[in-house]
Structure 1
């Protein structure tokens, strides 16, 4: 096959958050097939080490800056009638670089990671376009619009509507469209209506389960001392994570503390917004902010929780907890796309009262909780290795070449 152009909305290194974990592993798999030219949008958090790793893997690369501060970009997008989440990743420099690469290199495949980056695929490109939507972003904004407060409710509703149209056009432009789970694929297919001829495929997420070995990872010192430890991990400026942390701290922890007065709820993740920091000390909540490694916090947890009301795609935080053999309580949305069995690999709970009841039951049954954790790890090891995902990706890309 010819060379590949890989477009991503963030620098894929280091793979320390959900989207970057996926983009990093997919990029590595593609680089094993052919020379890959990488174009992405950078930010102030990109380290010299991350950029050096990108340069060592790519045949050539461009790390462009965003079009400007988000409030200014959002205002411009509102005037222009564009989705804000697409305008936020616009870059004339990246447009120019893409044009130069396509004009000077034998690129036969453009791999687009995340819908926002479809704006950089030229209309005149005649090769194959593999579009990794991952999940249905427009559905996420529609969910925000159904629950948010004015004026953000209107902004989210507008974003969902415009982004849905953008996703529709993008899908019709692509040779193959990828989704992280069968549920996301089915949702997108239903939203396309009667349109046919669009190739939709599932490419699941993986996890480096070798690195999540509870036998060799010591618990974080802060989790020692005998108190019940419940842990939630994630990027803590991401709205669904913020809502989940607030819900658990205020609506679930009081019931748990009534039975275990010293129980601690650890909120572990970078960039906690003021609303999250305000939870510190509430009903035993401890907000850590960014930590060097979440694995010791998982290792020291009595239970791990993922109380997400809005969850798109496959949750890496759930796979990580399962790989660490931790007993886990999740909402139905957080369990989507994993296929784990309720009561065997994890526990699913919908309401705060159900979360509290199931947490207390697991705390009271350490042997049963440990058995559930071991079953969860065995399930992840058997089904979610990145090696399997990479094999599936290679088959999909080669199939897209034949289709093109």
Structure 2
């Protein structure tokens, strides 16, 4: 199929779960023979490393700059435009709209829009051409609450409530125009189906199981591992909760525990705020496998967010047992005590960690069960097949298949 795929960020380097998902789906679909044009609006310029990582999988890579976040135009639009804040930040982009309109002059089997917050520049051209499209929604954005607005000051609470209301209206408007709205989890699919008025197929988050197959964790190492993109506030909250409330309780029982904290945009202020030498500030690590081999478990104390977490899937694929919360394993068909260990309480999480670290054989059993689950349900090849099935449900594709038959 000939696919036009739009993104509000470059999917390389894979510094977040969303970027990782995009890169691997693009690669998997290209390997299945589909011809993809990727249209990107990016806040960062295209560098040679990103070009080299992406172009082998694409017919065309088109990257347009996004205006600066702190521009006067963005500020005024956030306050006064009818669109929600995220849609405004990523929208009102005339060059992007014009380039998209030009691309619609070509015939496409599939037009795929990622994220409702990126949709505003595409709405008018799609309507003009009566072009069917699918929309993938990684989270129910209007329900994220603190995950979207945590960086705003407390006095802006009335604005956040207003903006959530704007986003609920925006979601309904966008979803009802899409031929299909794709969810990442079954739970989100129920909400998206209600808002769109049509069934919402699921394309799961995945992991490159083969990449992590050789990892054998060190269950006696007493090292915990966490990774996140710290431009996303739920990951900031997770680190803060861990270091303020959970690790001090754990260290009181087991002072030998180390905590390796990895990820993109790790704030320098964290190193200054928490100076305990048992905290290993790793920053962005392009390949986690060596660190996974030197870790006993993956600790993800997530209290905010949505969808399913690629960081958790990657840990399971590496055979690392996971200790987390309900939010950390949201969207996954896993059982507490079998595939992972979890709680919502600081003291109980510290107790779980202490007991697990004292029992390497139990860690091995949990890690083995998690790895088997991910291999069976969440390899990227399975996700690509699910997305391909969505394509075949589109009316134009059904007609072509019928003619070919």
CA drift at 1:349? 0.9
Look up the match of 1:203. 203
Deviations 1:89-111 (A, max 9, x none): 232221111111112x1124210
CA distance in 2, matches of 1:391, 1:363: 38
Q: Secondary structure at the match of 2:385?
A: helix
Q: Does the CA-based 8 Å contact 2:16-2:229 persist in structure 1?
A: yes
Displacement after TM superposition at 1:20 (Å): 1.1
- Contact persistence 2:254–2:354 (CA under 8 A): no
Give the match for residue 302 of structure 1. 296
- Structure 2 CA distance for partners of 1:341 and 1:30, relative to 1, 3 Å: same
1-structure distance, mates of 2:378, 2:114: 20
For 1:156-188, what per-residue CA distance to the aligned partner results, in whole angstroms no more than 9, with x for missing partners? 323322122111111000000001000111233
- Among 307, 310, 314, which residue is 1:313 paired with? 307
CA distance in 2, matches of 1:16, 1:271: 9
Deviation for aligned residue 1:383: 1.2
Question: Any conservation in 1 of the 2:202–2:386 contact (CA below 8 Å)?
Answer: no
Matched with 1:100 is 102
Q: Matches of 1:159 and 1:333 in 2, distance apart? A: 23
1:271 and 1:45, CA in 2 relative to 1: closer, same or farther beyond 3 A?
farther
Check whether the contact 1:38–1:58 (CA below 8 A) recurs between aligned residues. yes
Query: 2:207·2:380 contact (CA, 8 Å) conserved in 1?
Result: yes
The CA RMSD measured in Å over matched residues stands at 2.5
| 2:402 alignment partner in structure 1 | none
CA–CA separation in structure 2 for the residues paired with 1:112 and 1:10: 12
Q: Given the alignment of the two structures, is residue 161 of structure 1 paired with residue 165 of structure 2, yes or no?
A: yes
| 1:298 Cα deviation from its structure 2 partner | 2.2
- Conserved? CA contact 1:250–1:283, under 8 Å: no
Paired residues for 1:168-207 under 5 Å: 168-190=172-194, 192=195, 196=197, 198-207=198-207
CA distance in 2, matches of 1:362, 1:213: 23
Q: Following TM superposition, by how much is the alpha carbon of 1:255 offset from its aligned partner in structure 2, in angstroms? A: 1.3
How far the C-alpha of 1:15 sits from its partner, in A, is: 3.4
CA offset at residue 202 of structure 1? Answer: 1.1
Superimposed CA distance per residue, residues 81-135 of structure 1 (whole angstroms, 9 cap, x where no aligned partner):
32221122232221111111112x1124210112222222422232321100121
Gaps spanning 5+ residues in structure 2: where? 400-405
Moved more, 58-67 or 236-245: 58-67
TM-score (norm 2): 0.89
Contact 1:250 1:282 in 2 (8 A): no
| Shift of residue 203, structure 1, vs aligned partner | 1.1
Q: How big is each residue's C-alpha offset from its partner over 1:334-382, in whole Å with a ceiling of 9 and x where there is no partner?
A: 1111111110110121111111011111011111111111111111111
Pick which of 347-356 and 293-302 moved more.
293-302
Summarize the Cα distance change of 1:278–1:165 in structure 2 as closer, same or farther, 3 Å threshold.
farther
Aligned to 2:130: 126
Q: CA deviation at 1:265?
A: 1.7
Report if the CA contact (8 A) 2:324-2:341 is conserved: yes
Figure out how many residues of one structure are paired with residues of the other and give that number: 392
The alpha-carbon distance between structure 1 residues 278 and 213, as it changes in their structure 2 partners (threshold 3 A), is farther
- Per the alignment, residue 78 of structure 1 pairs with 79
1:44 corresponds in structure 2 to 44
| Residue 137 in structure 1 maps to residue 141 in structure 2 | yes
> CA–CA distance in 1 between the matches of 2:355 and 2:173?
49
Superposition deviation, residue 29 in structure 1? 4.2
Residue 341 (1) aligns with residue 345 (2): no
Q: Which runs of 4+ in 1 moved over 6 A?
A: none
**Contact 2:43/2:67 (8 A) holds in 1:** no
Deviation, structure 1 residue 148: 7.1
Tell me if structure 1 keeps the 8 A contact 2:325–2:342.
yes
- Tell me which moved more, 168-177 or 114-123: 114-123
